[in-house]
Structure formats: structure tokens, C-alpha cells
A and B are shown apart, each in its own frame.
Chain A
Amino acid sequence: MPKQIILAAHFPGVNNTTVWSDPRAGSQIDFGSFEYLAKTAERGLFDFFFLAEGLRLREQRGLIHDLDVVGRPDTITVLTALAAVTEHLGLAGTLNATWHEPYELARQLATLDHLSGGRAAWNVVTSPGAFFGENFRRGGFLDHADRYVRAEEFIATARTLWDTDGGEFAIRNSQFDIRGRFGVPRSPQGRPVILQAGDSDGGRELAAKHSDAIFSRHHQIDDARRFYRDVKDRLAKYGRAEDSLKIIPGVSYVLGDSDADAQEKAHHIRRQQVSPQTAILLLEQLWNTDLSGYDAEGPLPDIDPVLDEDDTIIKGRAGMYPDRLATAAEWRARAEAKSLSIRDLIIEVTGRQNFIGTPARVAEQLDEYVQTDACDGFILVSHLTPAGLDDFVEQVVPLLQDRGVFRTEYAAGTLRGNLGLS
């Protein structure tokens, strides 16, 4: 039997991949949008729904970022409400280990697992930095070097709490000193599914030790295979089997009647995602300085990026460019060679469309990724709220089923069971 593909639905988030300017784009906050996407995913027999977390609104040039979607609900509250309108779909959310506390978060996740009948999943992230801290009692207290320590001790602490079956605990480590009665009996999954997105060596090691799945950023097939091998090879030393950790990259797709039609649609979507204003803003994220005087339809700046990583122009988002000068040189060369404007270049270099073509071609490519160990499945990031997955569910899922690589009904009662995890 071929490997079975894992599929998840990412609720479109607060970055420029979400196209709000399209007339079909619906509300980013009405519960109806969340319900619609979750029900679509469940109709498509997806493994889980995924929602990211907001802790502070993004800022650029010291102002609240206004070009992308802004605002989102509280993660755990929406996931719990979605349990009321779905029956089988896993409910996964990002919850930050820096800005939550283990007792409270473990209790919420265990409550979600109970109230959903075993469908809870937690994407563990950490963030250092005073920027988010300004919204919280304790402020920016976490040293960058301590973020994996915090994450690891947080996960270990949460697992200890879940294992108490509601009983007594006493935990003391470098981050936490807590004791008492947990109060939540063992939930249907025992412990919620743990996802993790860290990509550094420390992040991979943490995933190998504790995670059930990795929300990966590796899309190119060769790169994805290297990542897959690297992470899976780390499992043995923790006594874990290879299939106990699933690799699931976040990907986008565009479907068309023909491959050419799909390419044309993809280009249209990219232009929607990168308005002239957004092009300048994305360029500023590399240049790290105010470029509002530049014309998006004109050439790239001839000044160099500003190298001050302690005072970046964008706040509330992870750093994306380790070597600003090298990347800027690369972008300039590319723009010059192909006579690209700022906007055209940004459309090219920030492109995140991974699978473009007819439903048959997309199904074939997704299957190839999974069967050749580039990944175990996909978190689909659609560009339209809330109907962005309709075409995939209607046109691609049946083809995956025909290939024998995707379920035709939910087999297990819990998310853990559907993912093939013990």
C-alpha cells in the first residue's frame, strides 16, 4: 500500500498571501468564515484545520501594518467553537510557549481535546523580544538563546500535566516552578497532537524529541527530501520510529482547466497578492529602511540595505534575511537581467505558489512528493477566505482517492488515529 497523504487546511492569515481585495473574499473574523472552511475541509476528509495566533499587530515603519489582513480571533476559543460544527476534523492552533503558562495552556488544550472528542493539536512556537511583551504582564523577558529551553521545558511540563490524569504534580525546572492538582482527567488522545515549526538545528532536535508533526518550510523537492531525511534520522536516538513524526510543509496551489490556464490564474493571484504598496513594503523588509519614495513600477534602489538587526523596520514577524547585502545583490542582478520593476521582482522572489496546473497534474505532484519522501502531507494555504479550498476538495481530493493515497472515509475517532500516530 502506498503512503497515505496527510492534508490540512490553513485558515488564510495576516500576510500578503491572503487576497482580501478579491470580490469573493469574505470576512476574516465572522465565525461563519471559520465554519465554512472547517466544513469544507471535513467534506474533503482532511486531517485537520489550522489556525495561527496573534499576540500583537504587525508594525512597519513604526506604524500598524495596514496593507495585509489585520486582526484575527483568539486561537483556542475559535477552535473550541469549531468542535461544535465538525465531527472528525482535527483542530490545530499555534499557541506561543513564551506568552502562555503551562498549567493554563495544558488545561485549555486538554479541555479542547475533551470537548472535541480527541481532535486537539498544538503548534508550539516561541518568540523572544520585547515587542510582543508590551502586551503582557511580564514584558520581554526571554533571551533569544533560551527560546528552545523554554519550548522544551514547556512541552515537557505540559506532557507531565496531561499524564497526571487530573491528579497531583510538582515540577521544577529552569523556566517553571509549579505544583498542585491538574484537574483535567486524561483526554481522549492522552495528549493533544504536537506540531512544531522550528527549522534550526535546535528546532529540529526539539521536534525529534517531542513533536508528532513538523510544519515545514521546505518546498523544493530536493531540499524537502534532505530536510525529511535529516529530521527522520534524528528520531532513533529518542527511541522513536520514523513514522512517528510527520513532515507537513505549508504549500499553496492553483488549479486550471489546462496547465497554461493555471499559470495565468497563478500570475493574476500573484499580482493581487503584491499590490504596488505591498511591493514597496516587502522590499523594505529586506532593505530595512523607508523606501516609500520609490515607485513600485520602477527599478530597485541603488542604496544598500541597512544592517541593524536590533532595530528592524518590521516588528512582529520573524527575521527572514540572514544576509541582507547578498540577497540585495542577488535581487538587483535578477531585476537587471530580466528588466523587472520592483513589483515584478517582488512577485518573483516572494512567490509561494508551489503546485500549479490541472487537478490531475497537481494530484500527481503531491503524490510524488509524498511517495518519494519529500514530505508526509501538506498544509494547504489558500489565498481566499473562506472558499479558497472549494476547488481542491471538489477536484483534487477525488483524484488522490483514485490513486489510493487518500482516505475515502475517516477511519479513526481521534486526530492522532487519523494521522497514524500512536
Chain B
Amino acid sequence: MTLHLAVALAGDSFAAGDWIDQVRRADEAGLDLVTFDDTFGRRGPDAVQVAARVAPLTRHVGLVPVATTTHTEPFHLSTALATLDWVSRGRAGWQVRVSTDPAEAALLGRRGPLAADELIAEAGDVIEVVRRLWDSWEDDAIIKDVATGRYIDRAKLHYIDFEGPHFTVKGPSIVPRPPQGRPVVAALAHGPRVWDSLDADVFFVTPADADDAARKVRAIAPEKKVFADITVGGHVPADAATFDGTPAQLADLIQNWWTVSGVDGFRLRVTDVADVTDVLVPELRRRGLFQPSEHTTLRERLGLPVAVNRYAARSEEASVA
């Protein structure tokens, strides 16, 4: 049993080299995933693209950009993330975010402000649509059958026909089912409003201490992976606990929280990945707490089950009946 380790990057650099340097360090240290922060209107590059830019230059680390459901088309979100999974060969994730900020809405000019609860409910619909689109191609849909002249077996492509209060999406996706089947969906969750509403695979929670972490783990469905966020350095005002001290002290804190609370891992919010990889990671490995995974896909690294295609399962039932 090893804890999972992630870093959260919130940089605003437009220089590809800065991102490559940071993510390569995470990759070489065997971290499980890197998240890339983003909001519309901030100074900074598009996070999905930053993840795509570093994908061909890394081999192991999961790449989890923030993408907001409030304004971006669900269809575009689904195809962009599926493509990130293709270019990273199975290492894509997605940190879901909603936007209540009227200034962000004004950048797009398509919607007025909505209440947070409604936006979270809508994000739930977007997650559903994005996943249905990922499943809308069965894994063996491409047949290249020269005798009949068919490239695909169209019976293995599926309309998703989603209808919700805010949008409808017909499908199928334009992108064949990505390597992970369903890339990992994550969300930052300060409380039950998020973890009870969103069907994410991973929640980043913000405990104040080990006991609070334990309470949060108990409150969240057991099949979810729970990462505790800790801000390292403490220079920025943060919603998460901040840590300021030596790497050995941080290892002590991680060891204590992990033992007491049963979280699956930690996401360290850093300004420089080297602050984690140079000393902390070797220290955690020395203590036998962290062992880099041998797996190549992010789902496997996190111990998530194989993503069974809902439509393929249905076709099999139909053929049995």
C-alpha cells in the first residue's frame, strides 16, 4: 500500500519550456498526476493545451487540466479531453470547475449569472455527457473490413441523446474511444455540495488537520479516491492548509494525516515542483510510504476499475436476450 502523490500547478507562464521543466520533474520523480489550474479571464494559457504540449515529452505522470463546464460546450470538452488521452497514451484527467463569476460570463457573452447550486447540477450533466461521448464508440468499432468496404461497424457507434434542463447533445463523439475508455474525472471539493452532487473519480479535499481529513474521507463515497490538498510554501492565501517547514517535517505531516485519516493521497500546491521532488519524494520513499507506480495509464495508477463501456454492455445484454 502506497500513498498517491500529486502536485497542483497554477503557473501563468506562456513559455513552453517552463511547463516542460516542471512536468518532467514530476514525471521523473514518479508522481501520479499533475493538475493545471485555469479560469477564463486569468492571465495564463489554456490548461488543456498546456497538458497536451507536455504530453509527448513525458511518459508516466497523469495530466489533469482544469476545464470549466459553465461556458465551454460539453461536446468540445469531451473531444478535447479524449484527444488529450490519445496524445498522452492514456494519462488524461479532467478537474471539473464551475464559474459563478459574472466577469467570466461577460467574456463569453452567452449566459447571465446562475446560482452555484444550479451550476454544480449542470456540471453533473456535463460530466454525464462527456462520459457518454467517450463511451459512444465501442473499443472495437473500427473494423476495416475490405470485403464489405466498411471502415467501421456502425452498430458499435451510439447516439447519446442527452437531454437536460440546460442543453441537449446528440452524439456520437467524433473521437474514437480514448485509451483509458474514460479519462479520470476529478473535482476540488470543499464540502458535500460538491462531493454529494458530482460523480467524479477523484476529489481534492481541503482538510484543516488529520481529524478533519478523516471526517471528510468518511463523508465521501468509499469508491472515490480522496486526495488532501496542502499548500506548500504558504505564500498565497489559500483555501487549503498551508505548510511551511522542512521537507522532513512535511513528510511527518503527510505520514500522520495518511495514517489517521485514510486519504488515498496528497495533492501539494506548489510554485516549483522541485520543492516536492528534490527532497520530499526521496524521504517518503525511504520511509516506505510512497512507491512510484509501474502502470502506464492514470486510471491504473490510481487503482480505478476498468471503465466498462455502458453501450457495449447494453449490446451484449441485447444479444443475449
Chain A positions near chain B (C-beta within 8 angstroms): 20-21, 25, 29-31, 35, 54-57, 63-64, 66-74, 76-78, 80-81, 83-85, 99-101, 103-104, 107-108, 111-112, 114-117, 134-139, 166, 176-181, 183-185, 187, 275-278
The bracket for how many chain B residues form the interface is 35 or more
Task: Say whether B89 faces chain A, with CB atoms less than 8 Å apart.
Answer: yes
Residues of B70-115 at the interface with A, using a CB-CB cut-off of 8 Å, are 71-76, 79-80, 82-84, 86-87, 89, 103-104, 106-110
> CA–CA, A112 to B49, complex, Å?
7
* Contact in complex: B52, A80 (CB < 8 Å): yes
A135 touches B171 (CB 8 A): yes
B57 at the interface (CB under 8 A from A): yes
- B249 interface residue, CB < 8 Å from A? no
Contact of B56 among A35, A63, A181 (CB under 8 A): A35
**B-chain residues with CB within 8 Å of residue A31 when the two chains form the complex:** 56, 86-87, 89
In the assembled complex, the CB of A186 is this many whole angstroms from the nearest CB of chain B, namely 10
Query: Given A29-B176, A108-B49, A278 and B106 touching (CB < 8 A)?
Result: no
Chain B residues lying within 8 Å of A112, measured Cβ to Cβ, are 49
One of B37-45, B181-189, B197-205, B238-246 at the interface: B37-45
Q: Do residues A84 and B42 form an inter-chain contact, with CB atoms below 8 A?
A: no
Is the pair B167, A137 in contact by a Cβ cutoff of 8 Å? yes
Q: Is the interface of B mostly helix, strand, loop or mixed?
A: mixed
Interface centre among B16, B152, B169, B172 (most CB of A within 10 A): B152
Q: How far is the CA of A71 from the CA of B144 in the complex (A)?
A: 13
On whether A77 and B87 interact (CB within 8 A), knowing A31-B56, A71-B176, A103-B40, the answer reads yes
Contact A73 B86 (CB under 8 A): yes
Q: Nearest Cβ in chain A — how far from B62, in angstroms? A: 16
Chain B positions near chain A (C-beta within 8 angstroms): 14-16, 20, 40-46, 48-50, 52-57, 71-76, 79-80, 82-84, 86-87, 89, 103-104, 106-110, 137, 142, 144, 146, 148-154, 157, 166-172, 174-176
Nearest first, the 9 A-B pairs at minimum CB distance are: A54-B174, A277-B149, A134-B170, A178-B109, A81-B87, A77-B83, A114-B14, A74-B83, A275-B149
Residues of B within 8 A of A57 (CB): 157, 172, 174
Bound together, the chains give a CA A183 to CA B149 distance in angstroms of: 49
How many angstroms from the CA of A78 to the CA of B178 in the assembled complex? Answer: 14
- Given A136-B75, A183-B44; A177-B109 close (CB under 8 Å): yes
Do A67 and B169 touch (CB < 8 A)?
no
Report whether B106 and A180 are in contact in the complex, using a CB–CB cutoff of 8 Å.
Answer: yes
On chain B, the residues within 8 Å of A20 by CB distance are 144, 151
Enumerate chain A residues within 8 angstroms of B84, measured Cβ to Cβ: 77
Complex CA distance for A275 and B145, rounded to whole angstroms: 12
Query: What is the bound-complex CA distance between A330 and B164, given in angstroms?
Result: 49
Give Cα A187 to B42, complex, Å: 16
B89 x A56 contact (CB < 8 A): no
> CB distance B149 to A115 under 8 Å?
no
A176–B49 CA distance with the chains assembled, in angstroms: 25
Chain B residues with Cβ below 8 Å from A116 are 16
**A72 contacts B56, C-beta separation under 8 Å:** no
Instruction: Give the interface centre of A67, A74, A187 by most chain B CB atoms within 10 Å.
Output: A74
- Chain A residues lying within 8 Å of B151, measured Cβ to Cβ, are 20, 66-70
Further contacts, 17 of them, CB under 8 A, given A64-B157, A72-B175, A136-B167: A35-B56, A54-B175, A66-B150, A67-B151, A70-B157, A76-B80, A78-B86, A81-B87, A84-B55, A107-B46, A112-B49, A139-B168, A177-B109, A178-B109, A180-B41, A184-B45, A185-B43
For residue B48, which residues in chain A have a CB less than 8 angstroms away from its CB? 77
Q: A67-B150, A81-B56, A178-B108 are in contact. Are A104 and B45 (CB under 8 A)?
A: no
Contact of B109 among A66, A80, A117, A176 (CB under 8 A): A176
Q: Hey, which chain B residues are within 8 Å of A138, CB to CB?
A: 110
Q: Do residues A115 and B14 form an inter-chain contact, with CB atoms below 8 A?
A: yes
Given contacts A108-B49, A135-B75, contact A84 B56 (CB under 8 A): yes
| B144 proximity list for chain A (CB < 8 A) | 20-21, 25
Chain A residues within 8 Å of B153, by CB: 66
The answer, among B54, B148, B172, for a CB contact under 8 Å with A277, is B148
Task: Give B55 Cβ to nearest chain A Cβ, in Å.
Answer: 6
Contact present for B73 and A30 (CB under 8 Å): no
Name the residue on B nearest A18 (C-beta).
B151
9 CB < 8 A contacts A-B: A31-B56, A57-B157, A64-B154, A71-B176, A73-B83, A77-B49, A84-B16, A84-B55, A84-B57
